[in-house]
Structure 1
Amino acid sequence: MTAPVLTSIVPGAGPLHSSACFVRFYLPMKFQASPPTPLPELNLKPYTCDSHYTAVRKFSGFARDSNIVQEAQKLATRLSRSPWANSTSEESRSTYSIAQYNSPFRLIGCVNEVWVDVNASGLLFDSFY
């Protein structure tokens, strides 16, 4: 398995305007020049990510629907109080993404992140906590 496994949430893209999601797996550099061919019945599509800026909030434990939404809200609140307020990227296909770095069989010490793409052109960079 690769890390992180990135699940992006797209509100209103599912049936009856429900949320939909898509999952992306990182392909290590040694396979990027000649990626393995997936089985056709899996309906997998390659995705190439251009350089961009992402706001990130790290959290521990299992990534569950209940705490994912809470962590996404905490990141949104934090962004609203920062120089990046109102700078979420309009080019993003999703509202937010969840990056999971550990095997689902790991019981303690799990590391997860909530990601939100931001449009950082013209902003000065500094981290905030």
Structure 2
Amino acid sequence: MEVFHPKHRDRNCGDLYRDDVSMEQKILVPLLLVLLSCTFCAADFPPLETPEYTVLKTGKDFEIRSYKEAVWAVAMVDDFSFVHATQAGFHRLFQYIEGGNHNWTKIPMTAPVLTGIVPSAGPFCSSAFAVRFYVPPKFRNAPPTPLEELDITFEHWDERTVAVRTFPGYAKDDNVPQEAEKLSISLSNSDFAKDSIYPIEGLDSYAIAQYSGPFQIFNRKNEVWVNIKLDNKTSGVTASS
């Protein structure tokens, strides 16, 4: 499995990590507020709705899961940082679920926020990320149409097989590729490796699923996802706007 490193630099691109305080504030403030609302006094609220799956196989430090059909709202972002891309994409998705759609409909928060690292034809000066929001089943057949300026599309996932590795703490630019590498090694050393193909061409190189808000310090949960073809069964995806 090829591991994509989101911290790719090139001399022609200049400093890819220069600080932009005003933009950070515009993105971070609403993002932190909504994620804080999802984690503050979490014990008093029911858990967020998540995609349905069954566990097919269990390895030493990973699972093979079969996910049921799902719909995801997607914000594409070109950036050089996994963290910045996730913040920017989720900011647009949050506006959408808070009523930034043609129906002025509010959609309940779900989990995880899933950021896919998309294979890019131009790795030296850009990286592509797909930041996804799981659409609740109530809205699956007819999700509200996003406002055009949010530039949000939808992905309709068929049933698919995913290899998953769980890791704690915060998902950051420096540890995300390391966690993906660990999953790659575990998969290559597993008994079923010879009967599987990963990652699948045309889909994410891998994705990071984040379940915890930024103010949750303990028991944080993140996952690395890799789509796999297992036992000659392909899990597909179709996209629509």
Shift in Å, 1:16: 3.9
Shift in Å, 1:3: 0.4
TM-score (norm 2): 0.47
1:41 equivalent in structure 2: 149
Contact 1:11/1:17, CA 8 A, preserved across alignment: no
Which stretch has the larger CA shift, 66-75 or 82-91? Answer: 82-91
1:127 equivalent in structure 2: none
Residue by residue over 1:61-117, the C-alpha shift from the partner in whole angstroms, topping out at 9 and shown as x without a partner, is 111111111110000000110122562043442110000011223222210000011
Q: In the aligned structure 1, how far is the partner of 2:122 from the partner of 2:145?
A: 28
User: What stretches of structure 1 move > 2 A for 4+ residues in a row?
Assistant: 11-19, 89-92
Query: Aligned AA for 1:98?
Result: I
Contact 2:119/2:128, CA 8 A, preserved across alignment: yes
- Rate the CA distance shift 1:69–1:16 in 2: closer, same or farther, 3 A: closer
Q: How many residues align?
A: 123
Which structure would you say has the larger RCO, counting Cα contacts within 8 Å and 6 or more residues apart?
1
1:26 aligned onto 2:156:
no
Q: In the aligned structure 1, how far is the partner of 2:114 from the partner of 2:131?
A: 6
Task: Return the match for 1:108 from 218, 225, 229.
Answer: 218
Shift in Å, 1:18: 3.6
Which stretch has the larger CA shift, 73-82 or 11-20? Answer: 11-20
Residue by residue over 1:8-30, the C-alpha shift from the partner in whole angstroms, topping out at 9 and shown as x without a partner, is 00233456464311111001111
Contact 1:5/1:100, CA 8 A, preserved across alignment: yes
Which stretch has the larger CA shift, 54-63 or 101-110? Answer: 101-110
Structure 2: unaligned runs, 5 residues or longer = 1-108, 234-241
Specify the SS of the correspondent of 1:7.
Answer: strand
Structure 1: unaligned runs, 5 residues or longer = 124-129
